[in-house]
């Protein structure tokens, strides 16, 4: 008699789900797509999860809180109301950005160090969470609640806070004047996002070194906003 097939680790199920949902989005992806990625039958996958929603929940857990998967038992059932949103709120949409918040509360010393700290914080967050952010943005197209959390309560709040920081420091003469504050805030975030995250999808940019990108982005963004001589 053949021995019983050992169950797959939930981390393996969750990793496959993350790849499928990131690549296809939530609506277009099906349980069969994840089963195929794992080399399982459609029915066999139901021994691990009870629904497609649960697969997405596991994908978020895998990327946001991988250690939590070891505490789950199979089959994993769909989370209650707010389950997926709760993961995104704590791990993607609302990072908090304490360096930026502290800079808004009051001057944190020389402006070069203050702005440099904000740039480092944003770069580190995006670089460390690029797979999670990719999953969120892919699925937010199909899940309005996720779009609200990520884009409205997350990114929009970040742009507003960074814009307010720039407005105050430009107003005090610590930073150069710019044609438009809102555009400038987006310029900072999107520049960081491309080099910390999106460049990995560009074949012509794969040769760029992570540390060189991090240091160069910091250098150029500081040069764009600091008055001459600082």
Interval 198-212: pLDDT, tens: 999 999 998 999 999
Q: Which tokens belong to 186? A: 């987006």
Please tell me whether residues 93 and 202 are part of one structural domain: yes
Q: In this predicted model, which residue has the larger pLDDT, 90 or 83? A: 83
Which among 36, 56, 79 is the end of a domain? 79
Cα–Cα distance between 230 and 219 in angstroms, integer? 12
Residue count (the chain) = 230
Rounded to the nearest integer, the mean pLDDT of the chain is 90
Please tell me whether residues 21 and 101 are part of one structural domain: no
Q: What is the pLDDT of residue 229?
A: 66
Whether 1 has a pLDDT exceeding 90, the answer reads no
Which among 34, 54, 79 is the end of a domain? 79
Q: In this predicted model, which residue has the larger pLDDT, 53 or 79? A: 53
> How many CB atoms lie under 10 A from the CB of residue 229?
4
Q: What is the pLDDT of residue 33?
A: 97
* Angle in degrees, CA 192, 193, 194, rounded to 5: 95
Q: Which tokens belong to 88? A: 């995104």
Please tell me whether residues 110 and 176 are part of one structural domain: yes
Q: What is the DSSP string of 20-66?
A: HHHHH-TTT--HHHHHHHHT--HHHHTTTBSSHHHHHHHHHHHHH-G
Mean pLDDT of the 61-85 span: 83
Q: How many domains does the chain have?
A: 2
Q: What is the pLDDT of residue 79?
A: 77
Which among 59, 79, 99 is the end of a domain? 79
Query: Range of 73's domain?
Result: 10-79
Please tell me whether residues 53 and 124 are part of one structural domain: no
Please tell me whether residues 34 and 129 are part of one structural domain: no
Mean pLDDT of the 57-73 span: 91
- Is residue 74 within 8 Å of residue 47, measured between CB atoms? yes
CATH number of the domain at 60, please: 1.10.357.10
Q: What is the pLDDT of residue 3?
A: 43
Mean pLDDT of the 180-189 span: 98
> How many CB atoms lie under 10 A from the CB of residue 156?
12
Indicate the helix (H) or strand (E) that contains 216: helix 210-225
Residue holding tokens 């039958």?
41
Please tell me whether residues 50 and 149 are part of one structural domain: no
Q: What is the pLDDT of residue 150?
A: 87
Q: What is the pLDDT of residue 153?
A: 84
Q: What is the pLDDT of residue 92?
A: 47
4: in domain? no
Interval 30-54: pLDDT, tens: 999 999 999 999 899 999 999 999 9
Please tell me whether residues 124 and 193 are part of one structural domain: yes
Note the Cα 98 to chain centre separation in Å. Answer: 17
Please tell me whether residues 112 and 195 are part of one structural domain: yes
46: in domain? yes
Q: In this predicted model, which residue has the larger pLDDT, 139 or 3? A: 139
Please tell me whether residues 35 and 129 are part of one structural domain: no
| Residue 67 DSSP class | G
Mean pLDDT of the 184-204 span: 96
Q: Which residues pair with 76 in a beta bridge?
A: 49
Task: Using a cut of 0.75, tell me whether the model's pTM lies above it.
Answer: yes
63: in domain? yes
Strand ranges inside the chain, DSSP E: none
CATH number of the domain at 93, please: 1.10.357
Whether 2 has a pLDDT exceeding 70, the answer reads no
Q: How far, in Å, are 47, 136, 147, 204, 212 from residue 156 at the CA level?
A: 40, 15, 11, 30, 29
Interval 87-115: pLDDT, tens: 655 544 456 899 999 999 987 679 999 99
Cα–Cα distance between 225 and 152 in angstroms, integer? 26
């Amino acid at each position: 008699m053949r021995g019983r097939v050992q169950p797959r680790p939930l981390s393996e199920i969750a990793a496959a789900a993350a790849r499928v949902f990131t690549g296809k989005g939530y609506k277009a992806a099906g349980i069969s797509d994840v089963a195929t990625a794992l080399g399982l039958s459609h029915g066999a996958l139901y021994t691990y999860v009870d629904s497609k929603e649960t697969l997405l929940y596991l994908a978020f857990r895998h990327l946001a809180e991988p250690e939590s998967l070891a505490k789950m038992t199979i089959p994993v059932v769909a989370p209650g109301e707010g389950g997926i949103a709760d993961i995104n709120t704590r791990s993607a949409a609302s990072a908090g950005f304490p360096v930026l918040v502290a800079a808004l509360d009051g001057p944190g010393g020389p402006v070069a160090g203050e702005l440099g700290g904000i740039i480092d914080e944003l770069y580190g967050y995006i670089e460390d969470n690029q797979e999670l952010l990719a999953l969120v943005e892919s699925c937010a197209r199909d899940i309005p609640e996720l779009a609200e959390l990520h884009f409205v309560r997350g990114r929009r709040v970040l742009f507003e806070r960074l814009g307010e920081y720039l407005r105050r420091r430009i107003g005090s003469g610590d930073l150069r004047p710019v044609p438009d504050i809102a555009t400038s805030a987006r310029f900072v975030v999107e520049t960081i996002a491309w080099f910390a995250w999106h460049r990995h999808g560009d074949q012509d940019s794969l040769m760029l070194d992570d540390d060189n990108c991090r240091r160069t982005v910091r250098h150029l963004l500081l040069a764009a906003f600091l008055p001459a001589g600082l």
